[in-house]
Amino acid sequence: MDKPPLTLFLAAPRGFCAGVDRAIKIVEMALEKWGAPVYVRHEIVHNKFVVDGLRAKGAVFVETLSECPEDRPVIFSAHGVAKSVPAEAERRNMIYVDATCPLVSKVHIEARRHAENGLQMIMIGHAGHPETIGTMGQLPDGEVLLVETVEDVADVEVRDPARLAFVTQTTLSIDDTADIVAALKARFPAIVGPHKEDICYATTNRQEAVKAIAPRCEAMLVVGAPNSSNSRRLVEVGAKAGCPYVQLVQRAADIDWRALEGIASLGITAGASAPEELIDEVVDACRARFALTVEMVETTVERVEFKTPRILRTPA
List residues with catalytic annotation: 131
Torsional sign, CA 272, 276, 281, 285? positive
Torsional sign, CA 207, 211, 216, 217? positive
Helix H or strand E encompassing 178: helix 174-187
Give me the residues paired with residue 192 across strands. Answer: 165
3-class secondary structure, 156 = coil
Query: Contact at 8 Å (CB) between 218 and 263?
Result: yes
Of 174, 127, 164, the C-alpha closest to 147 is 127
**What is the rounded CA–CA span in Å between residue 306 and residue 6?**
38
DSSP 58-123: TEEEESSGGGS-TTS-EEE-TT---THHHHHHHHTT--EEE---HHHHHHHHHHHHHHHTTPEEEE
